[in-house]
Amino acid sequence: MPWGIAIRHRRWVPGTGPGTTDVLMLRAVTVKSAGSWEPGAARDCVVLDFDARHRRRIVMHGEAGLDFLLDLPEAVALSDGDGLELEDGGLVAVKAAPERMLWATNWPHLGQGPERHGDEAGLLDLLLDWAPDDATRDRILTENPAALYGF
């Protein structure tokens, strides 16, 4: 890519103090909602906890090493599956970190007849889809509730 084109698609981010240098950094300027883009097209992925998903402007570091500046016109609550569109057309996937996720249900449905019971097996299948690895499920089902409720 010729230098002139690269400059047009990037912005300077000033250094942070003595001995630092300015860095040429890509900017993410648009959010694509989950389901409106193909996740396989993502160049990188950022895993963000709840607080980090509500931002307007911050330097982000992708799992594969891509550093970029999130630079939106206003603060946006990012959701799992959203895509951050870079100025050069590339995409970065947003994944929700499992640190604060909990599993909850209203089982055993006290005071409700069988016709009002939900599909618990289907809900557990969704959990398996959302958290496919044992470590994440263990965090959601045991570690996070224990930390929240102090047991």
**Residue 3 pLDDT class (50, 70, 90 cuts):** very low
Q: E strands of the chain, at which residues?
A: 10-13, 23-32, 44-48, 54-61, 67-77, 83-86, 91-96
| Domain boundary assignment for the chain | 3-96, 100-149
- Model confidence over 69-81: pLDDT tens digits? 999 999 999 999 9
CATH superfamily to which 3-96 belongs:
Urease metallochaperone UreE, N-terminal domain (2.60.260.20)
pTM for the full model? 0.59
- Model confidence over 113-142: pLDDT tens digits? 666 666 778 888 888 888 888 988 898 899
Give the mean pLDDT of 34-42: 94
CA distance 72 to 92: 14
Percentage of the chain lying above the pLDDT 90 cut? 44
